[in-house]
Each structure stands twice: as structure tokens, then as C-alpha cells.
């Protein structure tokens, strides 16, 4: 079985969309894959209750309990590795990860970012797109590499910016597309042939 671990920090709507797609599209049968666990760095993340209601194991590794990024990432990696993950999915996980953590999951760590990368890495993407006068915004699913919001692009979708948009209205429009595209990108990743193992 390919175990997928999803990391969240907040509402978990992308996580919920991935769980729904896995169920609807029969990822267990098609890819021998399942959502093994949802892990949050915040105990009050609303997404934890959604995951529990779906019968998915949840865990909290609170960054506040650790003095350094390295110590937090170490504890987080131990919680993830207890699930023997094939794939680790960042879904609204709002922590910057250490190079050691990223290296440990190289090639099996995905993120979604609410802009058309390489435009607008980092925070406040929707406000920055509006202020720049962009007519088109969007989202990017990418493999995570050490540089924040970089890494090979797996999927993108463009979303129009309306003249009267606020950051909130634009974010809501983009988020609806995130819920469609992130599960598709994960399914495509799961469908890829396994990399050849050296003889």
C-alpha cells in the first residue's frame, strides 16, 4: 500500500478535497494508495476534525513546543516516517521547512501554492497579484525543493482576476480551482511508473 501523509495548518479544505477524490476515484483500487494520516502543526486546525470524521488518523506536532526549526522538523519527520509514506503532501502547511527535512523527502514531497509560480512566491499572493495589476492569477502544484515555492512544476491553473476583486474574493476563486487541480496532480503522480532501481 502506498501511504500518503498530508500536512495542514488550518482549514484543511485542500486536504478534504484530496480525501474526497481518493474515495470517489478509487485510489486504493487504482493506485494501491490511501491517505494514511493528517498531521498539523497547530492543535486547533479545523482540518483535523474533518480528517477524523473521515476515519483518518490525525496527529499534532506543535511547532510552538520546539525551540528550533531543526528540532521541530525532526519531530515532524519522525511522525511522518511512522506512516512509511510514499508521498508527503503539503496542503496549506504554513511552516518553512529545513533543507535536511526537504532532502529527506526529495522526490516525494508536493506543495500547492496559490499563484502562478515563479510569480509571487511567499505570502499575500492574492493581494500582491491585485496590486501588480495582474489580469490572471492562479495556482501551482510543485515538487518541494530547498528554495521556498520553487521546484519542478507538476500542474498549474490560471484564474481570472476581476476588476472589483479583493484579496479575499480572488483567494476564494483560486481555492475552488485548487480543490480540483491538487487531487488531479496527486493522482497523476501516483500513476507515474516507479523510478527504476539500480541493479
**Contacts to ligand GRF by CB under 6 A:** 8, 10-14, 47, 91-92, 112-114, 175, 178
Is 101 or 120 the residue whose CB approaches ligand GRF more closely?
A: 120
Catalytic residues: 113
Element (H, E) at 10: none
Rounded distance, CA 159 to CA 136, Å? 6
Q: Residue 7 region, left (φ>0) first, then alpha (ψ -120 to 50), else beta?
A: beta
Least Å distance between CB 181 and ligand GRF? 10
Least Å distance between CB 47 and ligand GRF? 6
Q: What number of residues does the chain have?
A: 199
Q: Residue 137 region, left (φ>0) first, then alpha (ψ -120 to 50), else beta?
A: beta
Is 15 or 77 the residue whose CB approaches ligand GRF more closely?
A: 15
Least Å distance between CB 176 and ligand GRF? 10
Is 43 or 84 the residue whose CB approaches ligand GRF more closely?
A: 43
Q: Residue 18 region, left (φ>0) first, then alpha (ψ -120 to 50), else beta?
A: alpha
In 3D space, the residue among 187, 20, 55, 52 whose CA is nearest the CA of residue 110 turns out to be 187
Q: Closest residue (Cβ) to ligand GRF?
A: 92
Amino acid at each position: 500500500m502506498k501511504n500518503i501523509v498530508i500536512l495542514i495548518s488550518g482549514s484543511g479544505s485542500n486536504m478534504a478535497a484530496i480525501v474526497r477524490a481518493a474515495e470517489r476515484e478509487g485510489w486504493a483500487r487504482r493506485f494501491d494508495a490511501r491517505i494514511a494520516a493528517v498531521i498539523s502543526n497547530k492543535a486547533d486546525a479545523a482540518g483535523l476534525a474533518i480528517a477524523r470524521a473521515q476515519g483518518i488518523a490525525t496527529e499534532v506536532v506543535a511547532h510552538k513546543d520546539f525551540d528550533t526549526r531543526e528540532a521541530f522538523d525532526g519531530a515532524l519527520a519522525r511522525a511522518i516516517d511512522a506512516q512509511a509514506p510514499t508521498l508527503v503532501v503539503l496542503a496549506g502547511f504554513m511552516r518553512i521547512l529545513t533543507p535536511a527535512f526537504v532532502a529527506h523527502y526529495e522526490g516525494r514531497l508536493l506543495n500547492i501554492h496559490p499563484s502562478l509560480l515563479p510569480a509571487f512566491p511567499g505570502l499575500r499572493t492574492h493581494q500582491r497579484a491585485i496590486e501588480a495589476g495582474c489580469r490572471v492569477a492562479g495556482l501551482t502544484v510543485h515538487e518541494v525543493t530547498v528554495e521556498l515555492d520553487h521546484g519542478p512544476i507538476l500542474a498549474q491553473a490560471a484564474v481570472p482576476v476581476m476588476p472589483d476583486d479583493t484579496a479575499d474574493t480572488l483567494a476564494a476563486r483560486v481555492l475552488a480551482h485548487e480543490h480540483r487541480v491538487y487531487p488531479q496532480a496527486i493522482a497523476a503522480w501516483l500513476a507515474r511508473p516507479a523510478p527504476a532501481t539500480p541493479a
